[in-house]
């Protein structure tokens, strides 16, 4: 049997929800997480950029090294990437007028010009033959190449007539040393025909990549050196008042 009271009404159940304190705590946690993520994001982007640049350097070094080793003549596509080569030449024995200005070569029309300059030996005598000493006098060469990345983003590659894209493309500098092997000059046998044979038929190529090349002429912190031993005759050619050198791995010369 039910009894009802006209003055009694049931209370509705309380609705679930968040208090202002709980909402404030949640916002504080989210804000703290966002600050941490934003703080780490630049490090991740810098790491990604560094990895990309190192990958480009490794790929480009392989291309250039093989081109120099084989004495390539037909890689005309290099004219789109190598935009300047500077060779500083020092005359020995030192005289009052021994310092010669370093010629800057640019506006290349063929890949052979580029390979011929990049293969310039470190030491040459007055007859412009590659050697490993300057006892009888000659020249010491310091070769620097300025290069836009050969591999990398397709949007940066030629044909590219957008000067902004060209200026912003990844650019680096290469120091090249093409040196003959060292030997003991106090050993008559080594300093004789054996040393001359080595100087004419065997060289060590060292390519030090420095990157990135900044618009103001400075360099970034990237640095990596590649080394290779190259056997074969280093052929000298004098064309339009410029000295070019090309490796000929299938030929060997008999030094006097």
Task: Classify residue 11: in a domain, yes or no.
Answer: no
Q: Which domain holds residue 116?
A: 35-248
Mind giving me the DSSP string for 196-212? Answer: HHHHHHEEEEEEEEEEE
Task: Classify residue 207: in a domain, yes or no.
Answer: yes
Residue whose tokens read 């990895």: 51
User: What does the angle CA 38 – CA 171 – CA 64 come to, to the nearest 5 degrees?
Assistant: 125
Note the pLDDT tens digit of each residue in 166-188: 777 899 999 999 988 776 666 65
Task: Classify residue 13: in a domain, yes or no.
Answer: no
Instruction: Residue 209: name the closest of 228, 192, 193, 226 by CA.
Output: 226
Task: Classify residue 148: in a domain, yes or no.
Answer: yes
Task: Classify residue 25: in a domain, yes or no.
Answer: no
Question: Under a CB-based contact definition with an 8 Å cutoff, are residues 176 and 207 in contact?
Answer: yes
Q: What is the pLDDT of residue 96?
A: 46
Task: Classify residue 108: in a domain, yes or no.
Answer: yes
Give dist(CA 180, CA 140) in Å, integer.
12
Q: What is the pLDDT of residue 135?
A: 72
Task: Classify residue 28: in a domain, yes or no.
Answer: no
- What residue ranges of the chain have pLDDT lower than 70? 1-17, 94-103, 183-196, 251-256
Number of domains present in the structure of the chain = 1
Kindly state the tokens that stand for 10: 């049931």
Q: What is the pLDDT of residue 81?
A: 93
Task: Classify residue 149: in a domain, yes or no.
Answer: yes
Q: What is the pLDDT of residue 163?
A: 73
């Amino acid at each position: 049997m039910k009894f009802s009271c006209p003055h009694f009404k049931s209370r509705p159940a309380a609705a679930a929800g968040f208090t202002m304190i709980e909402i404030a705590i949640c916002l504080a946690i989210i804000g703290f997480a966002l600050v941490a993520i934003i703080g780490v994001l630049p490090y991740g982007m810098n790491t990604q950029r560094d990895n990309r640049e190192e990958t480009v350097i490794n790929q480009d070094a392989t291309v250039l090294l093989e081109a120099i080793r084989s004495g390539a003549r037909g890689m005309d596509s290099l004219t789109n990437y190598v935009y300047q080569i500077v060779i500083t030449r020092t005359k020995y024995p030192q005289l009052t007028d021994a310092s010669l200005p370093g010629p800057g070569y640019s506006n290349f029309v063929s890949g052979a010009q580029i390979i011929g300059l990049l293969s310039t030996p470190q030491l040459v005598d007055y007859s412009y033959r590659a050697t490993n000493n300057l006892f009888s006098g000659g020249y010491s060469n310091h070769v620097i190449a300025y290069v836009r990345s050969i591999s990398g983003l397709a949007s940066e590659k030629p044909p590219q007539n957008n000067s902004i894209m060209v200026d912003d493309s990844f650019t680096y500098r290469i120091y090249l040393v093409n040196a003959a092997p060292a030997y003991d000059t106090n050993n008559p046998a080594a300093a004789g025909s054996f040393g001359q044979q080595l100087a004419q038929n065997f060289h060590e190529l060292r390519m030090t990549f420095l990157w990135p090349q900044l618009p103001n002429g400075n360099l970034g912190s990237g640095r990596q050196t590649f080394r290779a031993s190259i056997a074969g005759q280093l052929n000298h050619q004098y064309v339009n008042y410029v000295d070019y050198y090309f490796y000929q791995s299938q030929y060997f010369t008999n030094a006097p």
